[in-house]
Amino acid sequence: MRSWIRWAGSAAIFCFTFLFSVAISGGSEDNAGIRGFQSARVDAERKLEQKLRAIPDPLRAESNLRHLTSEPHMVGTDGSRHVAEWLRDQYRSFGFDAEIVTFSAWLPQPREVRLELTAPETKQLASPERAYDVDKDTSDARAVVGFNAFSPSADITGAVVYVNYGMQEDYRELDAHGISVAGKIAIARYGKGYRGIKTKIAEEHNALGLIIYSDPQDDGYVAGDVFPRGPWRPMTGIQRGSVLYTQIYPGDPLTPGVAATPTAKRLAPADAVNVSKIPTMPINAQDAAAILQNLTGPHVPKGWQGGLPFTYHLGPGDAQVHMKLVMDYQQRPVNDVIAKIHGSSDDEWIVMGNHHDAWVFGAADPNSGTTVMLEVARSLGQLVRDGWKPRRTIVMCEWDGEEPGLIGSTEWVEANRAALQAKAMVYINTDVGVIGPNFNASATPSLKELVRDATREVKDPRTGHSVYEAWREHAAHAKEDNSGTGRPESQQEPSGEVALSRLGAGSDFCPFLDHAGIPSMDMGFGGDYGVYHALYDDFYWMKHFGDPTFDYHAAMARIVGTVALRLDEADLVPYDFSAYALEISRAVTDLAARATREGADNTATNAIVYASAQVTASASRTAQALQDLSSTTYSPEKAKTINRALANFEQSFLAPEGLSGRPWYRHTIYAPGIYAGYAAEILPGPTEALDRKDAIAFRREVQSLAAALQRAAATLDTVTRLAQEKAN
């Protein structure tokens, strides 16, 4: 039965794919067509895009990045406010209506961070990052010490156990060796997952605290030459970062689900369930070596040996450490910059975003993306000065407070959710915009083909071919991403097309997709990047290793600008629901098979199999209706009505009650995995209920998913009806 369903669903989706691709290109298979545009408007759109792609300038990008990295600018500091004010003024100079929107969030800053080895010898650890004469920025006294945001204050002493990457499978391995972290301090290396997941799992295993270090095997000298000679992390490099449990909810911990305005009703800090109860601190490889080489106990299992020059042991043995953290928690300002160019249709929005706050200088993360955004804005502003009027309103956002937990974007989405759900057609994110020459992207299935199309239009600076060709070639040899940026490198589809990854968490698309149901994408150029969240992620690093000529910053601006123009100017916004239907069908089939193997409720799983088939059938009918419409003349008003219905498809997947145990997350198809961090879980509700072996939750989550799929099918049926309606 399941084999027949898979065959029938695949056949229906194939037909739908063909019909929908023809429909959105205006009924033509001509290579000169553009998805979503009627043939009569294609030439004008191509000319407009060519004008835009001629504007981004590597020298302007370099100048902007130099300014953005001229001082440390962590959220809640004067440096972050200075950046926000400068960005507001830049957008205004480009012709945007720009303002700073300020929220008030409960945020920590470190007052004391101490670590010492107390046995079998005494040694002061938590050493600062080394300064280098060739890079004056590394001597800047304003740089914040290495710390983990949202760790509690603590003063603890304990024996140490090495837990590898500190993920669930690592603790199962420790259990097999009879080793527990209860009452001890765990030490984990960065990589394989979000650091907040490492803290959550250590807390669940009753650890006293957690130390996280950067192992040279993962992003240091084992990978290649280290800073300042190369792009990788030196032995003194520290990865700062938040351990907020964003997998439960992101944003201000005290105002879940509502905007953190000065008058908002707030939780007591002790009631914030996304804040850790155990202390966590990051250290460099140099200090980690002093601890790890003093551990005894069993030799580590296969795959646990890192790159330090001695044999790793699990511990605990005689090694003990003393950790003291003093964190200053206060209400601190979060300054978002919101800039708009108003279109002819001000009730349709194309939203773009990037965060401007950084742990220190943030040349790659995030300000390579900020620099790209500025060049896109300057290009759009130039088009307006030359006489262009956007069809839709373009909203460009520079978020504050992303690093401690997606705070600026989450609070703005919570404050504007109703307007976004009524007006926003898409959210385009570029966080780490450029760290090398290898393009990669993540997106909701409805937007993946649009990303591919845009990269076909832009020349790759290194190869001279299109970015798409370079991307596809690199994807054939892609390796696992361990940079910490949360955007894995792309793989290839069986067809040879590049496969975009799923959106999980780790950047500002999260509140748009997971909470508000806005179709989203995230794009950037990847590469060798070992200074993530370190002092050394500065202008010197970018100029010498990331993008010395800044040609990739300009290329990224051309890609983002092309995507924005196509979404802004399209007659029918080019969502690709064929890809969505296929992904849902595959996931539902896999879930049903797993549920059968594990003895779950077959009646419940049959409901989602049936509902998934409804989505596929409705999508096929919609494709046919849009194809028929493309051969007729229809009014802008009709197009607007259809576009709104198309945009509502994503919102159909939102469960009013949210996911079990984390109601802030409302999307039933995608959410960050509860124990995966950055990685996306597909069909998260029932999947995680199966993981927990919770039969009651499984039935509830399957019912919620089935209802969402039925809403999605009904939304597509509405599109079909609207497309088939005769003009009055």
Q: What is the pLDDT of residues 323-360, one digit of tens each?
A: 999 999 999 999 999 999 999 999 999 999 999 999 99
The parent domain of residue 166 ranges over 106-331
- State the average pLDDT over residues 298-311: 97
Ranked by mean pLDDT, the top range of 32-46, 361-375, 481-495 is 361-375
Q: How confident is the model at residue 30 (pLDDT cuts 50, 70, 90)?
A: very low
- State the average pLDDT over residues 617-634: 85
Domain boundary residue among 331, 347, 362? 331
pLDDT more than 70, % of the chain: 93
Q: Which of 398-402, 480-484, 526-530 has the lowest mean pLDDT?
A: 480-484
Per-residue pLDDT reduced to its tens digit, 71-101: 999 999 999 999 999 999 999 999 999 999 9
62 is catalytic: no
Looking at the structure, tell me whether residues 501 and 542 fall in a common domain. yes
Q: Give a yes or no: residue 39 inside a domain.
A: no
Q: How confident is the model at residue 628 (pLDDT cuts 50, 70, 90)?
A: confident
Q: Tell me: pLDDT of 509 over 90.
A: yes
- State the average pLDDT over residues 299-326: 96
Q: How many domains does the chain have?
A: 3
Q: Which of 252-256, 316-320, 409-413 has the lowest mean pLDDT?
A: 316-320
Ranked by mean pLDDT, the top range of 20-29, 155-164, 493-502 is 155-164
Residue 593: CB atoms within 10 A of its CB come to 13
Q: How confident is the model at residue 310 (pLDDT cuts 50, 70, 90)?
A: very high
Q: Tell me: pLDDT of 672 over 90.
A: yes
Q: Give a yes or no: residue 34 inside a domain.
A: no
Distance separating alpha carbons of residues 122 and 226, to the nearest angstrom: 29
Q: Tell me: pLDDT of 284 over 50.
A: yes
Looking at the structure, tell me whether residues 215 and 116 fall in a common domain. yes
Report the SS3 class of residue 254. Answer: coil
Query: How far is CA 300 from each of CA 185, 293, 540, rounded to the nearest angstrom?
Result: 17, 12, 38
Looking at the structure, tell me whether residues 411 and 547 fall in a common domain. yes
Query: How far is CA 501 from each of CA 256, 448, 522, rounded to the nearest angstrom?
Result: 28, 9, 10
Token pair, residue 375, equals 């060049």
Which regions of 218-288 does DSSP assign to beta strands (E)? Answer: 241-242, 280-283
Q: What is the pLDDT of residue 89?
A: 98
* Contact in structure between 540 and 492 (CB atoms under 8 Å): no
Looking at the structure, tell me whether residues 95 and 141 fall in a common domain. no
Q: Tell me: pLDDT of 264 over 50.
A: yes
Dihedral sign, Cα of residue 252, residue 256, residue 261, residue 264? negative
Q: Tell me: pLDDT of 11 over 70.
A: no
Looking at the structure, tell me whether residues 324 and 459 fall in a common domain. no
Domain boundary residue among 288, 315, 331? 331
Looking at the structure, tell me whether residues 636 and 689 fall in a common domain. yes
Distance separating alpha carbons of residues 514 and 320, to the nearest angstrom: 42
Looking at the structure, tell me whether residues 140 and 281 fall in a common domain. yes
Q: What is the pLDDT of residue 3?
A: 29
Task: Choose between 19 and 679: higher pLDDT.
Answer: 679
Q: What is the pLDDT of residue 22?
A: 41
Distance separating alpha carbons of residues 282 and 621, to the nearest angstrom: 54
- State the average pLDDT over residues 408-419: 98
Looking at the structure, tell me whether residues 274 and 347 fall in a common domain. no
Q: Give a yes or no: residue 618 inside a domain.
A: yes
Q: Which of 36-40, 124-128, 193-197 has the lowest mean pLDDT?
A: 36-40
Looking at the structure, tell me whether residues 173 and 145 fall in a common domain. yes
Q: Give a yes or no: residue 562 inside a domain.
A: yes
Q: What is the pLDDT of residue 627?
A: 79
Angle at the Cα of 74 (from 70 to 79), degrees rounded to 5? Answer: 45
Domain boundary residue among 537, 569, 601? 569
pLDDT more than 90, % of the chain: 87
Q: Tell me: pLDDT of 207 over 80.
A: yes
The CATH number of the domain where 604 resides is what? 1.20.930.40
* Contact in structure between 223 and 267 (CB atoms under 8 Å): no
Distance separating alpha carbons of residues 58 and 548, to the nearest angstrom: 10
- State the average pLDDT over residues 307-319: 95
HEC readout, 283-335: ECHHHHHHHHCCCCCCECCCCCCCCCCCCCECCCCCCEEEEEEEEEEEEEEEE
Looking at the structure, tell me whether residues 464 and 359 fall in a common domain. yes
Q: Give a yes or no: residue 40 inside a domain.
A: no
Looking at the structure, tell me whether residues 326 and 281 fall in a common domain. yes
Per-residue pLDDT reduced to its tens digit, 353-405: 999 999 999 999 999 999 999 999 999 999 999 999 999 999 999 999 999 99
Q: Which of 101-105, 168-172, 317-321, 371-375 has the lowest mean pLDDT?
A: 317-321
Q: Tell me: pLDDT of 10 over 80.
A: no
Q: Tell me: pLDDT of 707 over 70.
A: yes
Distance separating alpha carbons of residues 62 and 698, to the nearest angstrom: 52
Q: Which alpha helices (H) appear in 476-525, and where do they start and end?
A: 509-510
Residue 157: CB atoms within 10 A of its CB come to 15
- CB burial of residue 121 (10 Å; 0-12, 13-18, 19+): exposed
HEC readout, 567-600: HHHCCCCCCCHHHHHHHHHHHHHHHHHHHHHCCC
Q: What is the pLDDT of residue 318?
A: 87
Q: How confident is the model at residue 564 (pLDDT cuts 50, 70, 90)?
A: very high
- State the average pLDDT over residues 56-68: 98
Looking at the structure, tell me whether residues 300 and 425 fall in a common domain. no
Cis ω on the peptide bond leading into residue 366 (within 30° of 0)? yes
Please identify which of the residues 71, 402, 449, 681 carries the catalytic annotation.
402
Rg (C-alpha) for the chain, rounded Å, is 25
